[in-house]
Structure 1
Amino acid sequence: MSFTPYVFGTGIAGWAFLQRTQVQQQEVFEKSPILDRRVQDFTQRITSVQNSDQLLDDYNLLQVTLGAFGLDEDIGNRAFIQKVLDSDLSDSKSFVNRLNDSRYLALAKTFGFNSPDGPQLPSAKGGSEFAGITTADDLLSNKTLLSKALSNVGLKGMENNQFFLQKVLESDLSDPASFANKLTDTRFADFARQFEFGKPPEYDNSIQALVTEFNQHTEGLASADDLLEDEELLQAVIETFDLERTNKDFLRRVLNSDTTDPDSFVNQLEDTRYLNVAEAFGFGWPDINEMTDPDELLQNGKLLEYALDTFNVSNRGEDYLRQVLESDLNDPNSFVNQPENIAYYDFADAFQNTWPDYVSKMQVFSNEITDKLDSLSSATELVFDLSLFEASLDIFGLSHRDGDFQVMIKTLDSDLSSEISYANLHHDKNMKAMAYAFSFNKGEVAQDYPDGFAEEIAELYTTRQFEVAIGESDPNMRLALAFERELQSVADAGGSENAHWYNIMGSPPLRTVFETALALPSGFGQLDIERQLVEMKERAFSAFGTTHPADFLEPDMLDQFRRRFLLMTDLGGF
């Protein structure tokens, strides 16, 4: 026989009884056979759910899920809930973001079926009053929010230690040796963890990481050591080119190799992925300005090809080019000044005077893709953007594939999660590296549920079911029990003081509690919304001395507000 929670008395007396017995009653309630089996089944199976269809097709899992968010009545509204779960959370105009009831948004965020962040713990605060704070400077310049953030971890009074706090806030908390993690007082790490400004950026693919980190060097990379000392850029290079040997001394020899010299270190390696890296950055590229003998250029085939391409002229043979390079530019009768040879004048001028600065393949690639990083979404887009396609092939040593459109689309569109996909079976490692670097088709990405996900939802469910059961005895007690959690969700959503009030008015349980506690008359909800806002704020200030809903979450204020609500219900008429 199942246990039914109960309340003796009403109003404040009933609340006092419930406070004394809630823990014991809830423990017995949660052990009831039906509820216990339902919760156990849920915690064992929910993390195997990979999409909204699987959740909606399983009645028991859906029942617990919806119950955890107070949405029990939507159990039969499959089409509506699916639109909620599959909404694009990043689009302010998406279905769920246009709903007034924040419970649906919380549900969608928790499962994250259409979010790059994936599933999140229900307790994760996605908004809060810190939503507009994106850098340490933003927080340090806002004394009110800084004080709030410090108070959250018991560090109030530290507001004036700006330099110290900036170092704390900008610490990489994933690094045990970071500034915040080395402090003996762990509260500072907790303070930084509220924002994680020092957290390394997350990228959708290694190309995005490579270009973004490369562009951090606005003055360019002067040497191989500059690259090797930048851990984020180095990691992006290793992942982009799929390098297996990552010892820095080895990579230094690779990067400093003269790729135009067949006897250089990198040209002795069988794995051409290292040659691609060396050519992409060009640290060992010969300086044509140091050459005085035309034969130094003419006998270096790769360098000569680059030099001719720079001036868009063709190779007419060694003897012809030697005459061009040795011409007296000031003599109108010299070889290069003849009308039939004049196209080579700039080529000869650069060799004899100042050769243009070398532009690495990586720089060319960055110039082409930087503005397209966020919008480039398919292999077809890449292949038919000819200048970007050429630059992309260039850094992967695949320039000979510039006409193989269908082959490259097939490679780049390969399902990388399948061992037998075209890219994974291709004999050319450079093709595979390019496919993984862009990652247009990662295949089926499994939902990665955080630790404690099932348990936290199950706890929410049993808590709300207890409130429902109490509500069958006294609806006002159910509202009093849920008040703190519901008001906390409003505060966590962030926004202005007025935004909090509008969210309260849009929440039936909170509206009931506030209208009752503030002794607002029946029919109040028929007034113009702006008039309701003004009236609620005036009544709140008159009764409690504040107009900010978040202030009611302070322990003393919370108790005072809840007692006033219950007292008003006891007076009758509410």
Structure 2
Amino acid sequence: MTFSPYVLGTGIAGWNFLDRTRVQQQQIFEKSPILDRAVQDFTQKIEGIQSSDQLLDDYNVLKVALGAFGLDEDINNRAFIKKVLDSDLSEPTSFANRLNDNRYLGLAQTFGFGGETGPQLPSSSVEKPYANVASPEDLLSNQTLLNQALDDFGLKKYAGNEFFLMRVLESDTTDPASFVNRLSDSKLADFANAFQFNQPPEYTSSMEALVGEFSAMNDGNGPATADELLENEDLLAAVVESFDLEYTNTIFLKRMLESNPYDPNSPVNQQEDPRYLAMSRAFGFGISDINSFTSPEELLAQPLLLEDALEQFNLSNPGEQYIRDVLESDLSDPNSFVNQPSNLAFYDFAEAFQNEWPSAPSRMQVLASEVGGKLAGYEQPQQFVFDFDAFEAGLDVFNISERELDFDVMIKAFESDLSSEISYANLHRDPNLKAMAHAFAFNPGGSDHTYPAGFAQEIADLYKDRNFEIAIGESDPNMRLALSLERELQSIADAGGSEDAHWFGIIGSPPLKSMFETALGLPASFGQLDVDRQVNEMKERAQTSFGTTHPADLLETEKLDEFRNRFLLLSGLNSDQAANGFSDPIFTLFQ
């Protein structure tokens, strides 16, 4: 026979009985075969749940997950819960961030299917309501969040000056001469620094970092010299990681970068590791300046440089003697070799060599130009491989010949598990191919959805607590609310933020909102007011009733008891009124 928790008496007397007997009653209740099986099933299966679809497909695991957040009624609302779970919480306008009920946000944050942060313990999943604001525009366009943020820093007097606040938020707080650092109010600098909208970008791969840091220098042209590259710590780190370099002494790297990659006798060509040669070719700091050549022999002595020179004019190599005859031709003589009808395709080539050789972008410049705005859009390696210009630019940077490479080989490398030492990319004979696969990191490998230690236990405990509350609520709905009070209020306090932020959190929690409306003697129509007005009214009544306007103060033992007793007393009066023909929405909250 299944044990059913019970309460003797109502109101404050009933609470006192429940408070004394809760531990014993809950221990017996949790031995229920149905509850025990559900918890064990969840604990055993949760590590294997790697996507929202997997969670939704396992009814028993989903039941515990939703039940832990008091969302049992949504068990059959699959489409809605999927939108919640898959919400990108870094996007302020995402589905979960737009819902008024913060239980859904807590669910999405805890399981972490929609973002890059992954799962987190329920006890650490609550954030400030404006923590996911991505830009100054996001903050300034949401008046409620802006008011909370300004109140946090004591800056409410600036609430109406959006142009001024935009300049503050866009300021570089690390620059002493920036707008915000020239203001007398130091709280404004703290405000700007807290949001850090002007912080360096976060990269998801070493290639993204390489292209981003390269493009940020010299109007997108990258470093002009090896010294400029080596002095830029972020770019240097991206270069080392992208080319997977093992020896990174800066003196050595400078020598490699300044070596002529087309001279077989240069230092970089004496290295056994081909990745240093790929790096040297990609930046081209050591490549000979063709404008300095005084004879065709100097160009012919560097076959690879000659190939690149011909490619600039879309020409193929017809042989050394032919090239020599072209470059030695008298351009003004209509009878010269290059002026013959069959050789005119080489005229511009000869003219450039004899007068001024046009500058060509480095391989890194070409790659940055081709993929700079596309990297984030390459969700599958096939999208990159079949974007031919971008793919060819990538192969050039890593010194991989497209003539010898099958598309399937590169796709197989990109798709292999880079975290596995025996994956295709990691075992490939070409270190440059391996480096390229790691740089683009289409499949970094490993489980991105690793649950933190204690995750299953915390969810299970929450589920058991809420089920006990549900069982109590079957006999007395107000006792169910009273049981949840400390947990719900603690979650609001744990979120941090200002006093008003806590009140906004209370309004976003159906159980707390109902309890506060009852304890503060607010009418049923109260929820129809503007949210800022609701906060002001609640603060005034809290000051009158409990001597404080800060919800966190109510977690003090004496004030918590005072609040709960007041709620139970007034809810009892509402019950009496309901018995005489009046109704209160509190009783329908959990139905």
Normalised to the residue count of structure 2, the TM-score between the two structures is 0.70
Per-residue deviation at 1:396? 1.8
Amino acid at match of 1:50: I
Partner SS, residue 374 of structure 1: helix
SS in 2 for 1:440: coil
CA contact (8 A) 1:467 1:482 kept: yes
How far apart, CA to CA, are the structure 2 residues paired with 1:475 and 1:131? 35
Report the alpha carbon displacement of residue 230 of structure 1 after superposing the two structures with TM: 3.1
Q: CA 1:85 to 1:289, structure 2 compared with 1: closer, same or farther past 3 Å?
A: same
1:338/1:488 Cα in 2 relative to 1: closer, same or farther (>3 Å)? farther
Unaligned runs of 5+ in 2: 141-145, 156-167, 177-189, 578-583, 585-591
Specify whether residues 197 and 520 from structure 1 end up closer, same or farther in structure 2 by C-alpha distance, changes over 3 A only: closer
**Residue 581 of structure 2 corresponds to which residue in structure 1?**
none
Q: Do 2:97 and 2:105's aligned partners in 1 also have CA atoms closer than 8 Å?
A: yes
Deviation at 1:393, TM superposition (A): 1.3
| Residues 318-371 of structure 1 deviation map (CA, whole Å, 9 limit, x = unaligned) | 344334434455566655455554433432333333322242111111110012
Structure 1 CA distance for aligned equivalents of residues 132 and 387 of structure 2: 37
> CA–CA distance in 2 between the matches of 1:167 and 1:466?
52
Question: What does 1:148-297 align with in structure 2 at a 5 Å threshold?
Answer: 148=152, 166-167=173-174, 201-219=201-219, 220-297=222-299
Measure, in 2, the Cα distance between the counterparts of 1:257 and 1:531. Answer: 72
Taking only the aligned residue pairs, the percentage that are identical comes to 49
In structure 1, distance between residues paired with 2:386 and 2:532: 58
**C-alpha distance after superposition, 1:33-84 (max 9, x if no partner):** 7399889969975763433577678888656533431234556x49568736
Q: 2:38·2:64 contact (CA, 8 Å) conserved in 1?
A: yes
Is the 8 Å Cα contact of residues 520 and 542 (structure 2) preserved in structure 1? no
Partner of 1:132: 133
Aligned to 1:106: 106
**CA contact under 8 A between 1:7 and 1:470: conserved in structure 2?**
no
**Deviation (angstroms), 1:211:** 1.4
What's the CA shift for 1:477? 4.3
Which of 30, 34, 37 is 2:31 aligned to?
Answer: 34
CA contact under 8 A between 1:43 and 1:454: conserved in structure 2? yes
Given that 1:7 and 1:473 are in contact with CA atoms closer than 8 Å, whether structure 2 keeps it comes out as: no
Change (3 A) 1:165 1:438: closer
The one-letter amino acid of 1:379's match is: P
351-360 vs 315-324, greater mean Cα deviation: 315-324
For residues 314 and 172 of structure 2, the distance between their equivalents in structure 1, rounded to whole angstroms, comes to: 56
Q: SS at the partner of 2:372?
A: helix
2:570 to 548, 568, 571: 568
Partner of 1:156: none
Residue 111 of structure 1 aligns with an amino acid whose one-letter code is F
Deviations 1:224-283 (A, max 9, x none): 233333333333223322333333333232222210110111211222222111111112
Amino acid across the alignment from 1:68: A
For residues 322 and 62 of structure 2, the distance between their equivalents in structure 1, rounded to whole angstroms, comes to 79
> Shift of the alpha carbon at 1:165?
11
Instruction: Quote the Cα distance in structure 1 between the aligned partners of 2:515 and 2:438.
Output: 55
* Count of aligned pairs: 525
Could you give the per-residue CA deviations for residues 460-486 of structure 1, whole angstroms, max 9, x where no partner exists? 446545655664665334434545755
Between 55-64 and 359-368, report the one with greater CA deviation: 55-64
| Cα distance change on mapping 1:10 and 1:400 into 2, 3 Å | closer
RMSD: 5.1
**2:413–2:434 CA contact under 8 A, matched in 1:** yes
Distance 1:239 1:5 in 2: 63
Alpha carbons of structure 1 residues 389 and 84: separation in structure 2 relative to 1, 3 Å: closer
Kept after mapping to 1: 8 A contact 2:129/2:501? no
* Worse-matched range after superposition: 226-235 or 379-388: 226-235
Structure 1 residue 432: Cα displacement: 2.6
Give the 5 Å matches for 1:175-574.
201-219=201-219, 220-329=222-331, 335-337=337-339, 339-401=341-403, 404-417=406-419, 421-443=423-445, 445-451=447-453, 453-454=455-456, 456-457=458-459, 460-461=462-463, 464=466, 467-468=469-470, 471=473, 474-480=476-482, 482-483=484-485, 486=488, 508-517=510-519, 519=521, 524=525, 540=538, 543=541, 553-555=551-553, 565-572=567-574, 573=577, 574=584
1:493: how far off? 12
CA–CA distance in structure 2, aligned partners of residues 421 and 407 of structure 1: 13
Task: Tell me if structure 2 keeps the 8 A contact 1:42–1:60.
Answer: yes
Structure 1 residues 466-475 or 313-322, which shifts more?
A: 466-475
- Residue 110 of structure 2 aligns to which amino acid in structure 1? T
- Contact conserved, 2:262 with 2:304, CA < 8 A, in 1? yes
Q: For 1:407 and 1:310, how far apart are their aligned partners in 2? A: 28
Corresponding position of 1:179: none
In structure 1, how many angstroms separate the alpha carbons of the residues matched to 2:10 and 2:278?
79
Residues 428/533 of structure 1: CA separation in 2 closer, same or farther (3 Å cut) = closer
Q: TM-score normalised to the size of structure 1?
A: 0.72
Are the equivalent residues in 2 in contact too, given 1:46–1:454 (CA < 8 A)? Answer: no
Which residue does the alignment assign to 1:50? 49
- 1:387 Cα deviation from its structure 2 partner: 1.0
CA drift at 1:287 = 1.6
1:260–1:300 contact (8 Å) kept in structure 2 = yes
* Alpha-carbon distance in structure 2 between the residues aligned to 1:124 and 1:193: 23
Structure 1 residues 289 and 552 mapped into 2: Cα distance closer, same or farther (>3 Å)?
A: same
Residue aligned with 1:368, SS: helix
CA–CA separation in structure 2 for the residues paired with 1:165 and 1:222 = 26
